Amino acid sequence: MFHSRILPAGFVWGAGTPVYQMDGKSDPYRRFAEDIVRLSQLQLNSCRFVISWTAVQSSGRGPCDQVALDFYDRLIDCLLALNIQPFVTLYQCRSEQSPFASEIWSRETCALFAQYGARMIERYGDRVKHWTTFDETPGASYAGRQGSHHLLPAHCLASQAMRQAARSPVAVGIGLHLSAIAPHRAGDLLDIHLAESAWRKDCGRYLDALILGQYSAEKLDFVGINLGAPDVVSARPQALTAGGAEYTEGQSLRNLLNRIDREYHRPALYVTGNEYVRGPAEQCALALKDGVDLRGYFACGLV
């Protein structure tokens, strides 16, 4: 999935810099075919996008909107016609709105989300083979009061329902919002301890739950990584300067990929977001040389 020439393997459609920024026009609903032609011209082999729950099923229950379903049919067929593989996300935590006004995830919501996932597999599973239940989990989940307490069970239930509904094999994963966390002073034991504690609190607990812990009974085919801003931790906050982020930015993505590969038994990984990293394709290439099972890299925008 990764280009040997250190080019992005894919593109996140509808995110990042608008394709038509030069003339101020960005209308993916009507101009998606033009976007896809550009992807083909750039020799990208995959495209990641969200099938909006609210667009397809505004109330979270009942029949789906036929106009929305037909639109995603056209989008998927257009991608495949140009040999671009669709990677579908069911729910983008940062920007997607839940069909439920309260924005609170409950057991009922989890069950309805699983039903929604199964219906999407029934509709598009003959053509779409890579599915992400949630994207930008857990970081953005705090903003909507959903909380990981229900998002992780929702992922598990949806994964089960989607595989049961699939008529042919599909790969189901999840996208996590993770940050590279490093000690300000690499040789300072207290800084090292603080950085490790921050990692376990902000990132490790989700990977533990999904890969090693209570949700690991449901197979996770891949993990998507949306890299947040690199973070430097110090026992002396006054020691941190505006340039602190530069400390980890240079190799933050490579280091993060290697850590997940090492500690979680080499899961299949995709880089599904790179907004805060310099030279992400080069870092991905280095991680591949390190032996990381990196399956692909998605750019978040086209210039």
163 by Cβ neighbours in 10 Å (0-12 / 13-18 / 19+) ranks as buried
Nearest to 215, CA basis, from 177, 169, 281, 158: 158
Note whether 106 and 149 are within 8 A (CB).
no
Q: Which residues of the chain have pLDDT under 50?
A: 1-8, 15-25, 140-146, 242-248, 303
Note whether 32 and 78 are within 8 A (CB).
yes
Torsion from C-alpha of 130, 179, 299, 132, nearest 10 degrees? 20
pTM: 0.84
Q: According to the model, what pLDDT value does residue 133 have?
A: 95
Distance CA 290, CA 86 (A): 28
**Within its chain, how far is the Cα of 211 from the centroid?**
16
In the chain, what are the domains? Answer: 10-299 (3.20.20.80)
80 by Cβ neighbours in 10 Å (0-12 / 13-18 / 19+) ranks as middle
What is the DSSP track for 194-225?
Answer: HHHHHHIIIIIHHHIIIIISTTTTS---EEEE
Q: According to the model, what pLDDT value does residue 204 have?
A: 87
Amino acid at 204: G
* DSSP annotation of 19: T
Considering only CA atoms, give the Rg of the chain. 19
- Cite the DSSP H helix spans in the chain: 28-41, 53-56, 66-81, 107-124, 148-165, 189-199, 205-207, 246-249, 252-263, 280-290
Note whether 132 and 272 are within 8 A (CB).
yes
Distance CA 229, CA 236 (A): 20
Q: According to the model, what pLDDT value does residue 22 have?
A: 29
Strand 231-233 relative to strand 181-183, pairing: parallel
Q: According to the model, what pLDDT value does residue 102 have?
A: 53
